[in-house]
Every structure is written in structure tokens, then in C-alpha cells.
A and B are shown apart, each in its own frame.
Chain A
């Protein structure tokens, strides 16, 4: 049995310790907002927060998570920065197909949590692990700046 703290709730499940968090979220808990993109931590589509820090859930075995708080895209809007990022994304119409955007929003929120007013180099460093095939990067960069500028 594995017990996880997901979006503020304690969840118990019978899964192997080495099972990556991504598949627990998607296939066991039905939290499908977190996406599968590559399975080797190359694309960032599976990004979630562990105690507020961004992690790639596709390579994170659930057995080692313990009681650290997991936050997914479904709950990130409950945080101040998460809501700001979501709003900035919509105001600027960042999204195209949207498949990678859960991961983009999780990474961007973690960036603002760590650096309230990131410059271009900060954005590059924090967001380079998130691939977007629709090519929304120009708007992602601007939306992060817009979110940071929101009071």
C-alpha cells in the first residue's frame, strides 16, 4: 500500500513502489490533467509539484514520495501564483493544442514561487525542460512576465 498526499487529500492505493507518480495520477486516481509525453523526463508534460517544487512525474517512483505534498494542474488554481499564471495564459491566448500546457503552467507557477520577477534568463532556465510542439514559447515568455506584473 502506498499513501500519497494529492491536492490536499490523503489517497491510499495498492501499486508497486517503483511505479512512477504519472501513472498513479492518470490511471489509478483519474487525474488526467497531468500528461504523458515522453516517459524519460525530456518534455515536461508530466510536471507536478512536490512540496511546491516542480518535478517530472514520469520518472518519480511513488514509493519514495512519503508525505510530501503533491499538487497537480487540477489544484494549482487554488494557489495565488497558479491562478495568476492560468489567467495570464488565457488573457494572452497562449494555448494552442494545450496538451503540454499543464506542464508549462506547473513549471511557470513554480518559477514565480521561487523568483517573483523573473528575467529572460530565469525564464529560459525554468522553462527549457517543457517542450511545446505547437510553438507557443513566445507567448509563454510574455505571459510569465504578465503574471509577474500582476499585483
Chain B
């Protein structure tokens, strides 16, 4: 994998980019539902910078083939473990009829014109939409390129193109028994105008898509050769680490650096408005230097922020009516009128602030000179990082180069460019390149956190039918900061995703969003995004309604899923595979959750045991998914297994708390994550489907959390309403 560099770029303001003009130009329709981002598909025609070098054929921004037949696919989406390099390559190679063994991949440069995600309008990897967004455009790119080779071969043979077929990077004319490899056609193909509407294969004709091909990025991850952002070592690089104001908005008041300067290997101390960095010959010198600094902070307006304050504001906000995201029938009346049959039930659910805790701590290496800046990083938002480095270095974007690298865990954290901005500001004061690495403690304490949410739900239950449903989501709006144009009429489409398109068939439905920003904290996307809150609330509440109706949780869900057959099929499959209904030992239970998030239909059953002290042991997880065409089925299984663990970790322990404006957690000792000895067997069943592919990187996070919550409900009878799991409520003495 080689790196790509670019000297071009558009400046957008850091952190609050105004994407409005960009969005409208691209035909933005709406972010109302997380699954309904719609842009016109297009295949950019400009060649990537490197394609101009040497003898190669590059009919579009994504494919380059040289005379030897080596195929380079330019990856618009970044690899952070989700297997996107392989899946995206398979999509292009399929329609190209490429020889898979000759395919190599290359990061796309920062270039929103060519590489903006078609569903997001920015160059970003997130929202589980890499395959979804690029499915059609990249198949078109492959098909169009293939058509050029066919046309070139047909011309040279004097036969009609329609008589030719392709296979393994070769054009074949059966009637005359002739064959020619793509590599030998490069010069001729370059003279052919790439067609815009080359026909695409039918699903039955796929020969790569649908196979569990080996991943392209993993061999170098077994022998230490893979280069993540944190691994770059430009010649002469120095090493730095930093302490940022422990309180958001705080400033450096005073620094005593006498002891730090005396430490061998410490070269420089950079004091900025809101952070202090120590530069040394290696990270050890920088760390020791930082510990030896005496820094006094001016906490600013957030110095008294606490978790209690954040929750009390959020709970208060949840009492007011929110902006309406969805209205079907008349839920208001149905939930009010006392004369109607059945009863109205309500409950509130809460999700805490969460850190991402990517295994690769935040880092960015930057070299600033008076006339240029060069940066090395692994990011989900290359163009925004490019702009952030330019802003931090106070240089025009055209003088800034950014190299993207493999990502040691993204989970939404690397959808933010804040680390690149801080790094560039530090590097501006350092001669030569400097690698700035966050300690784990700084990483946890200066995350951009998953919002805290408070969900208020009401339902009217008539016998065993839900006839009205109201769901009010209260929390911060990530989109209002991240993509302002998408925040419309007070509704954050991400915040209500999977609530407004909830799968159950209920005649009266109302979904509201209530924006309430927490003081002292910036919130951002976290694996599973909005649905990891809404699915938790919905699936927990459904379980309580099922119990109220005296129904089995799966039977109760089935009765309301008639209009969502793909989810119903997944639910039936997981029922059969999980041993649902078979006897379990005391204080053991099974819980189920279903979700339509990211256009994937996932049903998950978690089985657990709750001990006398309220500790939870995971026994087994079983999942069924219909994600449409499974591009690389093994990757889909892996993503669900991994995302389940990410979600279960959050359910068991995840919570960021604040006191005096400061985040209290700091490292894996007090921000716990699931370990191998705590991990149960996880079986995943992928349903064969010919529907367009759904998103899969995040889906597993969401269902696992309510499925575990419902398993605890089954085991103990205690309906937990907050995450993480409150042990004291499920300890033996509290058994109901």
C-alpha cells in the first residue's frame, strides 16, 4: 500500500464546516432519516495525480492499470479494520472482470471533488455506508473501464464489441479464439471514450462478490510492517506529547518548566493558549518532561460542570415537547384519551457519555516550515484534516500535504480533525517534523464523546397490540455541529435514526427530537451512532410491553413486524439458532433485540447469567442478519462479532463522568473494556439476499446492548433503564 499525496484542497472552517453550498450543489435532498441521504450518483472523470505518471490507463479517479496488467484501485474510503479496502476493491474488480491477484489498493488523496462519499457529500468514512454509498458508482467505474478494454480489443480485431467477453483481466473473442490481456490493451484503451452507461452485471453473474475473499490489508498486520499514523518516522522527527486544558474552554494560566527542562532528551516546551506540549528525542523524554511540568490552569466557564449537572439539564429538557421528526396517525390523542381501550405505559431510558478508546491513541505528525506543512495521520476525514492542518499551521491549504495511513481503530473518533489542528499548532513552533502522540490518559480525557441521551417513551397497549407509540429523544445534536446543513427544523436525523423508521407496525406514531447540549463537553459520532441509543430504548421498552401483555418477547415482536419481512425472517432465524425457549439454569436469561439500522436487518439474542452480587457473565450471543448482497460474507460476520463486543463493553462498563469540569476516567483500568476471558461464543448467520447491500460496520453495536439488557430482565425480572448496567439493582437482594 503506498501513500498518496496531494497539494490541492479547499479550506473549510475547522470544526464547524459550512457544507451548505457543497451539499446543495450535489443535489442534497435530506438527512431526515439516517438511511435516506440521497445524492446523484456520478463517476468522477478527473484522474488522480499519480495516474499521469508512466504508461497506465486511468479512465476515472478510481482505477489505474499499467502495461504489465497491475491494477491499482484508489480507495475513497479508509481502512480501519472494517475490511473496506477489500470490499470496495471487490465491487470495482467485479465489474472490471479484473484478475484479483493483480489488484493493489492505494489511499485516495484529500480531494472532495473526486472522493466525497456520495451519501455524505464530504470525504468521510462513517455511518456504515462505504459499501452502500459506493456500490453503484464503483460498479459503474469498473464496468466503464471494462468496456474500454472490450472496445479496444474489438477494434484491433475488427469484430463487434458485443461478441467479446472478459474474464480475469483478459478480453476474449470465442469465435476466433483470440485473447488479449488488459495490460497489453492499455495504450489502445486510453484512446477510447469511457461510456457513462456501461451495463452492470446481474447478481447471478457475480464471481467475486459474495465470496469470502482474503483481506488485502491483513498480511502486513501480522508482522509489524503495516504503517499506522503513529508509526511514521520522517527523517529527523522529534517526539512530543501534550497536556490540554482538563476543562473544555480552559486556558493555561502558568507553567513552571524548570524541572522539565532538566530532563535528558527534553528539547523544547511549547506553551499555547489551551495546551502545553513537551518535545523530546523520544516519547519517553516527552512524557517525563510533561510529568515534571507544573501547569496551572484557568478553568474558565466550565470549571463547575459535573455529570449531575448534565443529567439534571437533560432530564428537565426531556419534559418539554420536541421537534417532530415523524408523525403517523394521531399518537397524541391516542395516548391521551382515557376512553380508549387498554392502558398507556411510559418509561424513560438513559445512555451515558462514552469515549471511543481506539487502540491507537490520537496522534499526528506534522512538519511546518514558513511556506509549507506536511502531515501524517490516520483519519476518517482526510479533507477536514487537510483544512485543520492548514488552519493550525496558518498556511493556505494549497501549501499543505497530508498523508493518510491505516487506522488503529476509528469508531467515529477519527471523524474529527481536532488532533490534527492541535498537532499543527504545536508543530508550527518546532523546527523539523514532530510526532505528537496523546497519552492514553489525554486521549480518554479529551475525546469527543458519544452524547448522553434521555429517551422518553409512551405506548398504548390494547390486549397484545400496541396501538400508539411516542418516542422523544433528548440529547445533543452532533449533526448541528458536524454537518449543519443536515440539521433541519430542530431535528437531528442521526439522533432519531431507527426511531422514526422503527420497524414495528403501529397505527399511531410520533417521534420527537429535543436538542439539549451538555455544558463542558463536545459530542460526536460513536460506533452505532444515533441508533445505539434509539434501538436500546425501543427494544428495552418493547420487552416491557411484551411482559405487560403476557407474551413471549419474540412472539410479541413477531406480531408487530408484519410490514418488515426481512427483519421478521432474521428474527425467526435467530429464534431457531439461539435455543430460544429452552430451559436455562437459575438467574440465567435470554434477551432479544431487533433493528433495521443502516439498511441492515439484524436480530440478536444474548444469553447471560447474573450472579448474587449483580455481576453479569455473558454466556452466548447469536445473531442473524439480512444485509442485502453480502459482498464479503466473512467480513460481515467479523464486523458483527466485533461490534457486538463493542456494544457489550459499553453495556457492562462504559460511562464517562465529569467532576469540576474534568473527565474522571483515564485509562483501561477505569474505562474498562471486554477481554477475551469475558467474551462468549458469538455465532452469526448471514441470510442470502439479492437486495442492495446494507451497512454493517456499526449494526452489531446497537442490538447487543438491549439484547443483554433484556437477558438480564429475563434472568432477574429487573427492568434496567440506564446504561451501563447498574449492578446494585440486579444483585440478589433486589430480585423481584
Query: B229 to nearest A CB, angstroms?
Result: 10
Bits for B194-234, please: 1 = Cβ < 8 Å to A, else 0: 00000000000000000010110111011111111011010
Q: Is B638 an interface residue (CB 8 A)?
A: yes
Q: Is A133 an interface residue (CB 8 A)?
A: yes
For A, the interface residue count at a CB cutoff of 8 angstroms equals 59
Q: Which of these, B80, B223, B408, contacts A73 with CB under 8 Å?
A: B223
Query: B582 to nearest A CB, angstroms?
Result: 22
Cα A89 to Cα B440 with chains together (Å): 27
Q: Is B104 an interface residue (CB 8 A)?
A: no
Bits for A108-151, please: 1 = Cβ < 8 Å to B, else 0: 00000000000000011101111111111111110000000000
A-B contacts counted at CB < 8 A amount to 181
Cα A77 to Cα B225 with chains together (Å): 12
Known contacts A33-B225, A99-B358; can you find 17 more A-B pairs with CB under 8 A?
A: A26-B283, A27-B281, A27-B284, A32-B224, A39-B440, A72-B224, A73-B223, A74-B225, A95-B221, A96-B642, A97-B358, A98-B226, A131-B359, A134-B642, A135-B641, A135-B643, A138-B641
Contact yes or no, B674 A135, CB < 8 A: yes
Q: Is A2 an interface residue (CB 8 A)?
A: no
Residues of B within 8 A of A74 (CB): 223-225
Contact yes or no, A90 B676, CB < 8 A: no
Bits for B128-149, please: 1 = Cβ < 8 Å to A, else 0: 0000000000000000000000
Residues of A within 8 A of B222 (CB): 77, 86, 89-90, 95, 101, 105
Residues of A within 8 A of B264 (CB): 16
Contact yes or no, B645 A137, CB < 8 A: yes
Q: Is B361 an interface residue (CB 8 A)?
A: yes
Residues of B within 8 A of A97 (CB): 80-81, 358-360, 406-410
A32 with B233, Cβ < 8 A, contacts A38-B667, A98-B218, A98-B406 known: yes
Contact yes or no, B359 A35, CB < 8 A: yes
Query: A49 to nearest B CB, angstroms?
Result: 13
Q: B interface vs A, CB < 8 Å?
A: 80-83, 212, 214-215, 217-219, 221-228, 230-231, 233, 239, 264-265, 281-284, 287, 357-361, 406-411, 437, 439-440, 634-635, 638, 641-646, 649, 667-669, 673-677, 679, 681-682
Residues of B within 8 A of A73 (CB): 223-224
Query: B357 to nearest A CB, angstroms?
Result: 6
Residues of B within 8 A of A139 (CB): 638, 641
Q: Is A42 an interface residue (CB 8 A)?
A: yes
Contact yes or no, A133 B409, CB < 8 A: yes
A128 with B223, Cβ < 8 A, contacts A95-B218, A139-B641 known: no
Contact yes or no, B282 A15, CB < 8 A: yes
Within A3-46, the residues touching B (CB, 8 Å) are: 15-16, 19-20, 23-24, 26-28, 30-40, 42-43, 45
Cα A127 to Cα B675 with chains together (Å): 8
Query: B529 to nearest A CB, angstroms?
Result: 17
Q: Which of these, A30, A77, A96, contacts B233 with CB under 8 Å?
A: A30
Q: Is A55 an interface residue (CB 8 A)?
A: no
Q: Which of these, A15, A16, A96, A132, contacts B83 with CB under 8 Å?
A: A96
Q: Which of these, B224, B284, B407, B638, contacts A93 with CB under 8 Å?
A: B638
Q: Is A70 an interface residue (CB 8 A)?
A: no
A37 with B225, Cβ < 8 A, contacts A134-B81, A137-B645 known: no
Nearest B residue to A61, CB-CB = B284
Contact yes or no, B676 A127, CB < 8 A: yes
Q: Which DSSP category, helix, strand, loop or mixed, fits chain B's interface?
A: loop
Cα A96 to Cα B81 with chains together (Å): 4
Residues of A within 8 A of B215 (CB): 93, 95
Give the residue among A90, A131, A140 with the most B Cβ atoms within 10 A.
A131
Report the 7 A-B pairs with minimum CB-CB distance, sorted nearest first: A33-B224, A135-B645, A99-B408, A97-B81, A98-B221, A96-B81, A135-B642
Cα A38 to Cα B264 with chains together (Å): 23
Query: B439 to nearest A CB, angstroms?
Result: 6
Residues of B within 8 A of A38 (CB): 440, 667-668
Q: Mind listing 21 A-B residue pairs with CB under 8 Å?
A: A15-B265, A23-B284, A32-B233, A36-B230, A43-B668, A45-B359, A74-B225, A86-B222, A90-B214, A95-B81, A95-B221, A97-B80, A97-B360, A97-B408, A99-B228, A99-B359, A135-B642, A135-B646, A135-B674, A139-B638, A141-B679
Query: A90 to nearest B CB, angstroms?
Result: 6
Residues of B within 8 A of A105 (CB): 222
Residues of A within 8 A of B643 (CB): 135
Contact yes or no, A39 B439, CB < 8 A: yes
Residues of B within 8 A of A40 (CB): 440, 667-669
Residues of A within 8 A of B676 (CB): 123-124, 127-128, 130, 132, 137, 140-141
A133 with B646, Cβ < 8 A, contacts A16-B265, A32-B231, A90-B219 known: yes
Contact yes or no, B224 A132, CB < 8 A: no
Cα A140 to Cα B440 with chains together (Å): 24
Cα A125 to Cα B675 with chains together (Å): 11
Contact yes or no, B360 A99, CB < 8 A: yes
Nearest B residue to A27, CB-CB = B282
Q: Is A102 an interface residue (CB 8 A)?
A: yes
Residues of B within 8 A of A43 (CB): 359, 668
Nearest B residue to A98, CB-CB = B221
Contact yes or no, A90 B408, CB < 8 A: no
Within A49-88, the residues touching B (CB, 8 Å) are: 72-74, 76-77, 86
Query: B386 to nearest A CB, angstroms?
Result: 22
Cα A98 to Cα B284 with chains together (Å): 24
Cα A133 to Cα B239 with chains together (Å): 26
